[in-house]
Each structure stands twice: as structure tokens, then as C-alpha cells.
Amino acid sequence: MKKLRIHYFQHVAFEGLGSIEEWVHLYGHSLTSTRFFEETSLPEISDIDWLIVMGGPMSVNDEEQFPWLADEKRFIRKAIDEGKTVLGICLGSQLVSAALGAGVYKNAEKEIGWFDIELTCFAKSDKLFFDIGSTIKVFHWHGDTFDIPEKAVHLAYSKGCKNQAYIYNNKVLALQFHLEPTKSSLKQMIDFGRAELKSARYVQTEQEILDNEQLIESGRKVLFSILDRLAKQG
């Protein structure tokens, strides 16, 4: 595996790379970041191979409150057009969708906690997902959803949200759910988002979330498999 120059966008202090950082260091890839809650400088597109766009509680449409969102979406689109590998997680997947011209809006249900996603027929035979099973229990924390962009391929859905993942041009992967949490980052998400844990069909209690911490490791294994395969395909 060649050494990659990976840049990531972080929107809030409590949603970092999680176990993705472990994978980066495992293979000796270089890692740089833009932390929009601290500063908004963007890298030169020629200086990166991968762009990873992390989550956050804001909406992709909150440009008045967060003016840097407009520049971020333009940069994501440029990275896609330049053939970079792009991974969007939760808010990141919505930003990728917006950059590709797809709609992003409130989902019918909030989805917070450990819930199953089902892989589509395409995903079951796709080289990124083909051997990880047709159903995966993953962590969710979102109220918005996205439309599948034109020419993208739908990969996963859940009972609470129809569009959970897609791949675009074999190099742009959008995941509405989280595979990257660690025990520490999961605790941070709960601490900062506890007010959202109100009883609803697809919202678990804090205790229910913590009682399923054993799923962190299974998510990490799936994530590392996907990242390995993305890296090998160039």
C-alpha cells in the first residue's frame, strides 16, 4: 500500500477521526487537518490524496451561521473533480451530497444509537463491502438525510433512513452512519449531545448506547476493511 497524504475536515471538537486515526498511523500515512471550529484555512488540492469529512451537529444549509460551509462544499467538489478519494461520514456524507448537487434535508425520524443497516444488492457484490454480511449494526447520530446524487450507487438503508450510504465514481464514499467511534469518542458525543436523547422510535437512551459498546470493535473491523480496499484501488 503506498503512503497517502490524508487531509480531514473536523467541524466540532467532539467529532474527530476516532479509529480512523489508528488506521492512518498503522500504515504510516501522513495526516493533516482543517478544524473549522478553530481556523478555516484549506490545503492546496495538489497536496492531498484523500479527503475525509467528519460529522457535526450543524446542517449543510447553515451557511449564515457557519460561513465556511460554502468554501468547504466548493473544496469537496474540487477534490471530487480532481479524482481524489473522498470519504464523508454523517454530516460529511451530507456535505459530499450537497457538493454533488443532491438534496439534504430533515429525515422523517432522528436516528441515534445502534441500529441495523441493510446492504443493497449492489453493495453485497461490490469490492468494498462484498464479504461483510448483508446486515450490520452500526452507530447513528443524525436528524438530516441526503438524496442519492446522480450517477452514484445506493449501498445501504435502514428502517429509520432510506439512504445510508453510496459510492460515486468508485472513489467517493458517503456513510450516513458511524463506524469510527472509540469508547472515548462515543462518550464525548453523548456528553455534548445528551439533550437530543429524547424518547423516539429510533433514539436510544444513553444507557442503551453504552450497553452496546462491544459493537465498537465490530465497526472498527468493518471500517478498516473498507479503508484498506479504498487504499488499494488507488
198 — pLDDT class (breaks 50, 70, 90): very high
Residue 100's identity, in one-letter code, is L
Percent of the chain beyond pLDDT 70?
100
Residue 36's φ and ψ, nearest 5 degrees, are -65, -20
Question: What predicted TM-score, i.e. pTM, was given to this entire model?
Answer: 0.97
pLDDT in tens, 59-108: 999 999 999 999 999 999 999 999 999 999 999 999 999 999 999 999 99
Pick the range with the lowest mean pLDDT from 123-127, 147-151, 184-188.
123-127
Q: State which fold the 5-232 domain adopts.
A: Rossmann fold (3.40.50)
Q: Assess whether pLDDT exceeds 70 at residue 49.
A: yes
State the pLDDT at residue 130: 85
The string of DSSP codes covering the chain is: ----EEEEEE-STT---TTHHHHHHHTT-EEEEEETTT------GGG-SEEEE---SS-TT-TTT-THHHHHHHHHHHHHHTT-EEEEETHHHHHHHHHTT--EEEEEEEEEEEEEEEE-HHHHHSTTTTTS-SEEEEEEEEEEEEPPPTTEEEEEE-SS-S--EEEETTTEEEESSBS---HHHHHHHHHHHGGG---BTTB--HHHHHHTTTHHHHHHHHHHHHHHHHHHT-
The C-alpha atoms of residue 168 and residue 161 are separated, in whole angstroms, by: 19
Residue 42 burial by Cβ neighbours in a 10 Å radius (0-12, 13-18, 19+): middle
The grid coordinates of residue 13 equal: 471538537
